[in-house]
């Protein structure tokens, strides 16, 4: 590295000497090229300034005419331009880097917020799923209970209908027996009337009244049974 700097310093002296010669037409392109080489080697502004001072001493221009010193200063300024631009670019890069870091920090914060919202959403979704599952179990139980109650109601209805049918049969049997007994009694009375009408006409009226009572009782029984059927 040291040897490279020495060679750069030597080239600087040579280029400056050529630049200061009367009638030189090379312009400032060599100075710009030296500046680029200095940037490549990592030479900073102060080190290039010292290199320029040594060149002035070598060329015996430290106490020379103002005109040549002015030309040498222009040469140095041109050689320094790449270093200055590099520093400016570096500052811009640092500025851009700072902005990128700020943007990254902001994006990171936004991402963290989004992740938190997603986690909360997942928790809410799991809570809803658990609630739905629990509700499903509850509704399934209610459905089973409802079906069980429906079956119980069906059996109870069947029992009620069976009891009603039994009641009708019982009343029907009672009515049949009662009417049969009444008709049998009427038949007996009629036979009795037939026999007595031949020997005793006086008791005929009394037997007829008694028979009428039996008929009325039978009709009353039929009406009572009819009312009982309507209640069932």
pLDDT per residue as tens digits for the range 113-148: 888 888 898 898 888 888 878 877 777 888 888 888
Confidence band, pLDDT 50/70/90 cuts, at residue 80:
very high
pLDDT tens digits along 189-222: 767 766 666 666 666 667 777 777 877 777 777 7
Whether 12 and 86 map to the same domain: the answer is: yes
The contacts found for 152-157 with CB under 8 angstroms, 24 or more apart, are: none
Residue-range definition of the domain harbouring residue 33? 2-109
The answer to the question of residue 151 being in a domain is: no
- List CB contacts of 74: < 8 A, sequence separation 6 or more: 28
The answer to the question of residue 61 being in a domain is: yes
Q: Contact, 221 vs 179, CB < 8 A?
A: yes
What pLDDT is attached to residue 99?
73
The answer to the question of residue 118 being in a domain is: no
The answer to the question of residue 211 being in a domain is: yes
Q: For the chain, give the percent of residues with pLDDT over 90.
A: 11
Q: Contact, 80 vs 36, CB < 8 A?
A: no
Whether 95 and 17 map to the same domain: the answer is: yes
pLDDT tens digits along 32-61: 999 999 999 898 999 999 999 998 888 887
Dihedrals phi, psi of 91, to nearest 5 degrees: -65, -40
What pLDDT is attached to residue 220?
79
Whether 103 and 165 map to the same domain: the answer is: no
> Residue written as tokens 């009819």?
226
The 10 Å Cβ neighbour count of residue 102 is 10
Q: Which of 77, 94, 109 is the last residue of a domain?
A: 109
CA–chain centroid gap for 74, Å, is 71
Sign of CA dihedral 12, 15, 20, 26: negative
The answer to the question of residue 67 being in a domain is: yes
- Angle at the Cα of 200 from the Cα atoms of 195 and 205, rounded to 5 degrees: 90
The 10 Å Cβ neighbour count of residue 124 is 10
- Angle at the Cα of 31 from the Cα atoms of 28 and 36, rounded to 5 degrees: 130
Q: How far apart are the first and last CA of the chain?
A: 124
Q: Contact, 114 vs 87, CB < 8 A?
A: no
Q: Which of 48, 77, 109 is the last residue of a domain?
A: 109
Query: Does residue 188 surpass a pLDDT of 80?
Result: no
């Amino acid at each position: 590295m040291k040897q490279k700097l020495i060679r750069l310093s030597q080239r600087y002296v040579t280029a400056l000497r050529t630049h200061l010669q009367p009638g030189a037409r090379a312009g400032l392109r060599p100075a710009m090229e030296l500046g680029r080489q200095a940037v490549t080697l990592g030479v900073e502004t102060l080190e290039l300034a010292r290199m320029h001072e040594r060149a002035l001493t070598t060329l015996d221009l430290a106490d020379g005419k103002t005109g040549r010193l002015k030309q040498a200063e222009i040469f140095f300024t041109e050689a320094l331009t790449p270093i200055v631009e590099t520093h400016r670019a570096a500052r811009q890069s640092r500025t851009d880097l700072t902005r990128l870091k700020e943007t990254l920090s902001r994006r990171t914060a936004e991402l963290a917020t989004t992740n938190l919202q997603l986690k909360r959403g997942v928790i809410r979704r799991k809570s809803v799923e658990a609630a739905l599952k629990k509700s499903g179990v509850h509704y399934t139980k209610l459905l089973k209970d409802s079906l069980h109650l429906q079956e119980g109601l069906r059996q109870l209805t069947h029992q009620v209908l069976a009891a009603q049918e039994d009641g009708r049969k019982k009343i029907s049997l009672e009515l049949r027996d009662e009417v049969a007994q009444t008709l049998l009694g009427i038949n007996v009375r009629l036979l009795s009337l037939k026999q007595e009408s031949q020997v005793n006409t006086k008791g005929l009226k009394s037997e007829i009244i008694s028979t009428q009572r039996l008929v009325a009782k039978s009709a009353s029984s039929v009406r009572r049974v009819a009312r009982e059927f309507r209640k069932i």
